[in-house]
Structure 1
Amino acid sequence: MDIDKTAYISETAYVNGDITIGRNSSVWPNATIRADSPIKIGRSTNIQDNVVLHSMGSERTEIGDRVSIGHSAVVHGCEIKDECLIGMGAVILNDAVVNKNCIIGAQALVLENQEIPPNSLVVGVPGKIVRELKEKDIKRIKQKASEYEELAQKYKNKE
């Protein structure tokens, strides 16, 4: 494990295996990160309560910078680029790629091998692109990441 000293990991999170967690990132209560093969989490990224990140075998999971992964989402053997918001309960399957500045709506399903173009809003099961993000949407993604970064530092300072 390679966890940056500025990262916040809740004492009830389960973090195990070949994991890299970047500067100012956070892993919240009851999240599970099980890296039977490499999982890399970038800077200022938040893995919220009850999220499951898993990779095994030849899979690799890469999460970029300033990504928010909402409560109870499942991310398995895929890539999420910088500045994305993954909604609560969303599922992203093996070999999917979510490109920069995307929002994956709550409960959406990104299928195996599906590639989501930059600046997309995806909703539904299976996930469909419903529109291109507006500037206000992209601002919201960045704002959410900043809010969690600040909150994590408050929790870390209590330790």
Structure 2
Amino acid sequence: MEFEGKVPQIHETAFIAPGARIIGDVTIGPKASVWYNCVLRGDIHKIEVGARSNVQDGSVFHVEGPRPDTDGEPTIIGEDCVIGHMAVVHGCQLSDRAFVGMGAVAMDGSRIAAGGMLGAGALLSPNKHIGEGEIWIGRPAKYYRTLDEAQIAKIRFQTERYCKLAQKHLAQIHG
């Protein structure tokens, strides 16, 4: 949906599930997927979803708009990221291969470095930063440990699986 002259830019290879709402200044990259009942509302700042990243069912993305003390906070998702079901991502930035678990919340100004993980149900407070390859869990989220090679491989697997699954859903819808 257009909002105040801003029209979502969705790559032709991206999958947007029926029922997802993409509003305003939103860019969806190649082979990215936005699943059923997600809301990405770029009405007061921009949202970007990088190539092959997946935003799973029921997730909500929003932004922090400009205020007298700041230019606001866009929501920027790198490439090959996994956003679990029912996550809330608000005015934060995820580097490539970052992971946000099911039901997790990432708040304004927070950052997740390359390969970092916010565990299921966790709450990443404003302006907190998860380092490269770190896992943070809890409410509020705190450092737990560093990902091992098996977990890194699992994130890659999830990204690849969602790219393939998106193509199957697309074929089913357009059957």
TM range (shorter): over 0.9
Asked if 1:136 is matched to 2:150, the reply is yes
Which of 3, 27, 31 is the equivalent residue of 2:10? 3
- Residue 62 of structure 1: CA displacement? 0.2
Aligned residues: 159
Q: Distance in 2 between matches of 1:86 and 1:115?
A: 13
Match of 1:25 in 2: 32
5+ long unaligned stretches in structure 2: 1-7, 66-71
Identity over the aligned pairs, expressed in percent?
Answer: 39
Match of 1:53 in 2: 61
Which of 127, 145, 149 is the equivalent residue of 2:141? 127
Match of 2:96 in 1: 82
TM-score w.r.t. the length of structure 2 is 0.89
Match of 2:52, SS? coil
CA-based RMSD of the aligned residues comes to 0.8
Q: Distance in 1 between matches of 2:96 and 2:50?
A: 8
TM-score w.r.t. the length of structure 1 is 0.97
Structure 1: 4+ residue segments shifted above 2 A = none
**C-alpha contact 2:48 2:76 (8 A) present in aligned 1:** yes
**C-alpha contact 2:101 2:117 (8 A) present in aligned 1:** yes
Q: Which has the higher contact order (CA 8 A, sep 6+)?
A: 1
Match of 1:126, SS? coil
Deviation per CA, 1:63-96: give whole Å up to 9, x if none.
0111110011000000011112211000000000
- Residue 56 of structure 1: CA displacement? 3.8
Q: Distance in 1 between matches of 2:159 and 2:58?
A: 18
Asked if 1:154 is matched to 2:161, the reply is no
Structure having the higher Rg: 2
**C-alpha contact 2:29 2:50 (8 A) present in aligned 1:** yes
- Residue 55 of structure 1: CA displacement? 1.1
